[in-house]
Structure 1
Amino acid sequence: MAVRRLSVALTLLCGFAAGIPASPAEDRAIVLASTTATQASGLLDYLLPIFTAKTGIEVTVIARRADEVLDGARKGEADVVLMHARPQEEKFVADGFGTKRFDVMYNDYVLIGPKSDPARVKGKDIATALKAIESKGVPFVTRGDRSGTHAAELALWIVAGIDIASVKGAWYHEAGHGQGMTAALDAAHAANAYVLSDRGSWIGFRDRGDLDIVVEGDKRLLNQYGVMLVNPEKYPNVKRELGQAFIDWLISPEGQGAIAGYKVDGQQVFFPNADKSGG
């Protein structure tokens, strides 16, 4: 499925670049740019066949880290953007690259760490936990890749009153650049380190070893997802009607119900909270 979607994505992008007329099948297809965390969670593989069965609209997914999602959308490489980096999303719309932004769903971030909890942070709030990790120099793994999760982590260091760029040392490890959340969790496992993860990626992570959730439930760990139509006035190739049909379905009671129904190992991964007024 992933290979087929990638092939279609490349075909569509080459067609956009060369000005080749779309085939009838491509006329009923859109390109969705989303983050690796959304794709890796399995949610899109669950949702998109439901949408296609209802509408006949095929959806090709291009999954990248957050900054790459928006960079590609600014080049007109997608019809719709679905991601979890609200400040960047709002700037994307304010700069005229997207139309409206709609809340779609949320999950949360969790601080993962060794069960032995060397920083003694289990059950603490996130700011207290990060202060303890930094002050004790306990190993911490960062995505370091300008993804939505990396942006959230950097914002949380600021909340904790820590200038991570100035104080980071040998204890602050960068995961493989551009390798995604699974690679960061693997690195934390190997280094017996702490790491910030979205809950969906953690639920799907199988090689946990001695890792466990040590901090959760802090309201500052909310992970909000938004969806936007790429501005067709800037990019004539954007399929306004089909892209908007996908957005409308996603924020409809049916789409919201489908999101709520997606579970991994019996656990709900995303929680719908569509704001139909747009943001």
Structure 2
Amino acid sequence: MERTRLYVFATVFFGVVLVGTLSFMHVESLTALDALYFSVVTVTTVGYGDIHPVTPLGKLLAMGLILSGGGTFFGILAAAVEMFLGRREKQVRAEKIDMIIGLFFSQVGSTLVRRLIRADAGIGVLRDNLDVSLRWTKENFRKAEATLKKYHYDVDMAAIDLPALNTLLGANSEFLVRLLENPNILEHETFTSLLQAVFHLKEELAHRPNLASAPACDIEHLRLDVKRIYSQILIQWLHYLDHIKDNYPYFFSFQCRVTPFLATEDATVCT
């Protein structure tokens, strides 16, 4: 919106200057350069006085130029400032959202990714395309995201320790609620959707007292909830890694050492 308004003001401004220049050339018999110069200093209300209209029609034209062009000129300045401040505000909000996403993965997201991946029979495909390393470039991230968008997400519920998953999400219940309450994440629809899916699974698990011996129909219901999370969290995880690689390389280095595809979460640099 700010950019459109700026373009409109700029178009009108240059149109007024052009009309004023051509008119002064004709009415005041000025050269093209002098007419342009006079139009600009008139519209911008500078008015050095070195060139001024000498004919009645020229004076009327100058007044019309001031009234029409002056407001347009200041409109350009206002629109430009508004656009700059809007971009800055948008950048600040984006940084806050990235920080919230980082907190989510540090607190619970990375552990959740690890558990879901290990319950996926197609882990070989994921390992080949998502085993992130320090050598990864934007092209690697782009190809990995394309793979995830086409991937058939599924999990073997027998490979998931549901009581342990219930404990993980229950222990982070207050944390998840605070994330959902944060107004900044409302602008990030995909991450908000992921949080809602995680919170829903937490509620489903918390209200089943015998997860270890749940009936098959119940396990199938939970599988759909887990699959909903799985299909969203990997893409968000990939975007998160792409972000920290550019902005926090030291943290990206840490994530590469504890990637969910490794057998352990040992971040030791050397032995």
Q: TM-score range by the shorter chain?
A: under 0.3
Larger Rg, first or second structure (1 or 2)? 2
Structure with the greater relative contact order (CA < 8 A, sep ≥ 6): 1 or 2? Answer: 1
More strand by share: 1
